[in-house]
Structures are given as structure tokens and as C-alpha cells.
Amino acid sequence: MYPHIDNLMDLLVKSQLNALSALFNTDTLRPIAIQKLDILTHELWYPGIPRDINKYIGKISSPSYLSKSLALLEQYQIHLDPTISYGIIGGHTPIVEYLLNLSSNDYKSLRNKRIMYLNQLVSADDTDTRSSITTMEHYLPFNNPSILNNVTPQSPRSLPLILTPCSGCHLNDHSLILQDACIKCSISIRTNRLSTFNVFNHSNQEHKRFKNLPLSKYYVSTKPLYQIRHSAHSIYLAQHNVNTVTSTTTTLELPSLHDPNHVLRQLSSVIDSALLCDDKIKLTLIDIASKFLFYTNFQFYSDGSVSDIGTINSKSGFGWVQTDPLLPQISFLGSTIFFPSSFKSETAKALLF
């Protein structure tokens, strides 16, 4: 009736195997299984379930239930391959496989620095990448104009940046479930530099201004959204050695008014080298320049403004229209969502004329 009753270890292995099979192959238990894998990953500092778990489990002072169960199954040469798709981004070679005889303090140091893969330290050409894995809760700008209109901004052209937790998106990797079960969306990414910004404390009056909004959890940034975008973009350009200034040497000559082709070539060269935009926009401006080529006196009206500043819908608009002479009736208008501001709108209207 009870096979192998004289061998309690066999019975224990069978019961553990049945329990783990149910855990990793039942849809209703999938969230618990993912949480167990997160705990195991944090314990062993290994992405997934290693083939030789007993080689790493000795570094754990208090192994979890899953660690003990997998170590027991390994003694019977049983390896569990869960049907759950589980992985940690950031590299290919686990660093604990490359660095042998790591102490518990070494593991602690790797966890604190979020270094799980050898690829985070050395690239394919043996250069130091100086990166680590950063795990963060995902927040999004609160964008509800009907509600924000009832909030009086500090200045007529500014709106507060309110951040609310993401309810879950394609970036979610479930890695923060271990720390806080209330977190709905978390992101893990390999980084070599972090751009941070401050938020108001919950006791600050600026934070309390929005306590009546239908938000269970939120933060209020001390900076508007466009300033944070500008800072992040500047750091990206500096980190990747991107030079946004086109180094074009143009020899300007005093053109002869009797040679319109020469004048147009000069204007085309200036437009092409001075503007960083789509080629279609440059061609439009060159076409306008050719139409104005023979005019020595004309008038135009220009304007520029920014809308919804501080929100994700913020946009700078600018343009001009010829007013005298009446013909030809030439105009130009444009807009950008790239770091919108009133100053940029007013500047763009003049530069693009």
C-alpha cells in the first residue's frame, strides 16, 4: 500500500516533486510560482534555476522552500524545467559561473551593485562597460486635463508633473514583487548612469495641493516634465558622444545680384548646415528662399507660442506669413514636441524666416 515505506527520503522526494509540478504548471498558481522564482534568483544570484543548484546553495544562510526542494531533487538527478517563461535581462553569462569560490560577502556586494552577468562588466572586446542592473517601479505622468484644470498652477504657463504608478505594460518584468506585492509594473534594465530628480515630500504643501485628486498613490516632481526630458536627453548625448552641431565650414562670399544661382546655392548651404531637421523641411525653406530671391523689401507677420506646457501633450508652435507685397502669398508654419518652451517658439519663428 505504501511503496518504499522503508525509505522516507523517497517519499519526501515524491511529495516535493508533485507539489512543485502543481506549482509551476497550474495557471492559478502562476503568480506564486513567479514570486518563488524571484526569491530563488535573489538568493542564488543566478538567472533562473541552475543545473547544479547544490554548488550555490551552500552560500545561503537560510535557504527558501524552493531552494531546499530543488536541492533535494538534484540528489536524485531530477532537474525541474518550469513551463513559465522566466528570464533576467542584461547579459548571457552569469557571473557566479565565471567567478568561482565566491564568499557570502561577495554575493552581497554583487546584489547591492545589481551585477548578475559578466557582460555587465566586460564587453565582447574586453573593455569595461561599467554598468549594472537597475530595477525600478514604473511611474507615468498623470494626464487628465479636466482634473488638472481645477488646480491653480504656480505660474500661468506651468503645470505640475504628477507621477502615478503604471498599472502594467509590456516593460513589466515582475522583479519587484519580492519587495512589494502592491507594485503592478517594474522595469529592470542595464545602466551605466542614472539620471535622478527630486519629488516633494508627502508633508510638503505642494504635495498636499493634490490630495483631493482621485489618486491612491502619487508623487509631485520639483521640476516640470520638459526640464526632466531636456536633462535626460543631454545626459544621453554626452554618454554616447553624440555631437549635435554639424561641423560644416562654409566660405561665404559676397554674391553678385546678377547671379541668382550663386545666391541660391549660398542660401541653400546655410539652411542645410544650420538646421537639424527633416530634409523635406529644408527643401521647403529653400523653395521659399528662391521665391523671395528678387525681393529687396517685404513685410511679414510672425508668432510663436507653446501649449499644454508641463504635460505629455506639450507642443511648441511657430510660423510667419507675408503681408506686403500681397503677391506672392507665402507663409510657413511648424511645430515640435522636442523640448517645447515659449522661448523656443519665439526663437524658431525668427530663425525660420
pLDDT tens string 103-143: 888 888 888 877 888 776 665 555 555 566 677 888 998 87
48 and 34 within one domain: yes
Q: Tens digits of per-residue pLDDT, 78-88? A: 877 777 777 77
Residue of 73, 43, 36, 72 whose CA lies nearest to 60 = 43
**Residue-level pLDDT at 122:** 63
Domain tally, the chain:
4
Is a pLDDT exceeding 50 seen at residue 250? Answer: no
**Residue-level pLDDT at 174:** 64
Q: Tens digits of per-residue pLDDT, 3-15? A: 555 566 666 677 7
> pTM of the full predicted structure?
0.46
Is a pLDDT exceeding 60 seen at residue 353? Answer: no
Residue 2 lies in a domain: no
**Residue-level pLDDT at 308:** 72
28 and 111 within one domain: yes
Residue of 136, 160, 141 whose CA lies nearest to 149 = 160
105 and 71 within one domain: yes
Mean pLDDT of all residues in the chain? Answer: 74
**Residue-level pLDDT at 98:** 82
**Residue-level pLDDT at 220:** 92
186 and 162 within one domain: yes
307 and 288 within one domain: no
60 and 33 within one domain: yes
**Residue-level pLDDT at 203:** 92
12 and 115 within one domain: yes
Residue 282 and residue 271 in contact, taking contact as beta carbons nearer than 8 Å: yes
Residue 238 lies in a domain: no
Q: Tens digits of per-residue pLDDT, 258-314? A: 556 777 777 787 777 767 677 888 888 888 778 777 777 777 777 777 777 666 677
80 and 23 within one domain: yes
Q: How confident is the model at residue 255 (pLDDT cuts 50, 70, 90)?
A: very low
55 and 21 within one domain: yes
Q: How confident is the model at residue 20 (pLDDT cuts 50, 70, 90)?
A: confident
Q: Express as a percent the part of the chain with pLDDT over 70.
A: 72
**Which amino acid appears at position 103 of this protein?**
S
Q: Tens digits of per-residue pLDDT, 177-201? A: 555 667 888 887 767 677 888 999 9
Q: How confident is the model at residue 164 (pLDDT cuts 50, 70, 90)?
A: very high
Residue 113 lies in a domain: yes
**Which amino acid appears at position 259 of this protein?**
D
Q: Which residues constitute the domain of residue 149?
A: 132-224
Residue 132 and residue 114 in contact, taking contact as beta carbons nearer than 8 Å: yes
Residue 231 lies in a domain: no
110 and 32 within one domain: yes
Q: What are the b/e assignments for 329-351, b being 16+ CB within 10 Å?
A: eeebebbeeeebbeebbbebbee
Beta-ladder partners of 336: 316
Q: How far is Cα 129 from Cα 150, in angstroms, rounded to an integer?
A: 48
141 and 104 within one domain: no
Q: How confident is the model at residue 343 (pLDDT cuts 50, 70, 90)?
A: low
Residue 232 lies in a domain: no
Question: Per mean pLDDT, which range of 92-106, 147-161, 194-208 is the poorest?
Answer: 147-161
Is a pLDDT exceeding 90 seen at residue 219? Answer: yes
DSSP string, 111-158: HHTT--BGGGTB-TTS-B---EEEEEE-EEE---HHHHTTSPPSSTT-
Q: How far is Cα 86 from Cα 37, in angstroms, rounded to an integer?
A: 8
**Residue-level pLDDT at 64:** 83
71 and 15 within one domain: yes
Domain boundary among 92, 120, 148: 120
